[in-house]
Amino acid sequence: MDNLKYNNLIDTHAHIQGGILYEDRENVIKRASSAGVKKIIVVGTNLKDSEIAIEIANEYENIYAAVGVHPHDCNDVDKKYIDKVFALSNHKKCKAIGEIGLDYYRDYTPFEIQKEFFHYQLSLAETLDLPIIIHVRKAFDDVFSILKNYKVEAVFHCFSGDLPIMEKVIENGHMISFTGSITYKSKKGISKMEKVIKEVPLNRIMVETDCPYLSPVPLRGKQNEPAHIIHTVSAIADYKQVTREEIEKATTLNAINFFRL
């Protein structure tokens, strides 16, 4: 692990609702706390996933939840199904709607169905006055086009865009969240994400694991978990040439304000 002892990090996007992470969640959460990760937001992708996120949040004082239907899970569902997901948002530990959005990278759900339910979930988030967590791959133009019709605060989770996209996110008043993928080096020199991180304002960034996926270097290839977020924080500090304490302070404050923790 990183040599620096972190004290107050927040993993703003984790999936510990299944598999080994769920079965061993007591120790997963203890390891996170020992690494300095004091709060975790468990994010839903469908009804069952969202229900378990709420259950875990109810079980642990420092765990919170987000509920929503992922674009890959929008096929073969209807508005009544999504309404059941949103009923969970009444829980006091639910802090956001997500993850929702558009994914044109994999052809799991027809694009028009994705857009229909993105609209619907944005409308409900606006009504509920909850921030949203956006999943977007190869669909930034459509996401921006749809998002401008709603008064919602958004974080672009697991950000993968380039500098112009980052600038557009910032111009529209939204946030950007980085995962362990930013530690993956480019064979062509400075990576796209390193360029983005150098330019993105400190008051607009948050950090996440997106576990069990995207383990950071030096743990790439292993199952990810919230404790590993320290490597992402360190990478951001290195790219921006600021102290790790500065990144810890900024990302934690941003998360507290955005999710109203």
- Band of residue 1 on the pLDDT scale cut at 50, 70, 90: very low
SS (H, E, C) 14-30: ECCCCHHHHHCHHHHHH
69: exposed, middle or buried (Cβ count in 10 Å: 0-12, 13-18, 19+): buried
User: In what order do the strands lie in the sheet containing 94-103?
Assistant: 9-14, 37-43, 63-67, 94-103, 132-137, 154-156, 175-178, 205-207
Name the residue type at position 30: K
- State percent of the chain over pLDDT 70: 98
Q: Which two three-digit tokens encode residue 58?
A: 């109810």
pLDDT digits (tens, 9 = 90+) for 110-166: 999 999 999 999 999 999 999 999 999 999 999 999 999 999 999 999 999 999 999
pLDDT digits (tens, 9 = 90+) for 176-218: 999 999 999 877 767 889 999 999 999 999 999 999 999 999 9
d(CA 261, CA 255): 8
Q: In the chain, which residue ranges form alpha helices assigned H by DSSP?
A: 19-23, 25-34, 47-59, 79-87, 111-128, 140-147, 163-171, 192-199, 229-240, 244-259
Q: What's the chain's average pLDDT?
A: 95
Q: Decide: 226 and 11 in contact? Cβ < 8 Å.
A: yes
**119 Cβ partners below 8 Å, 6+ apart?**
146
User: Stretch 8-18: mean pLDDT, rounded?
Assistant: 97
CATH class in words for 9-259: alpha beta
- Comparing C-alpha atoms, which of 236, 234, 225 is closest to residue 201? 236
pLDDT for res 3: 59
User: Stretch 43-58: mean pLDDT, rounded?
Assistant: 98
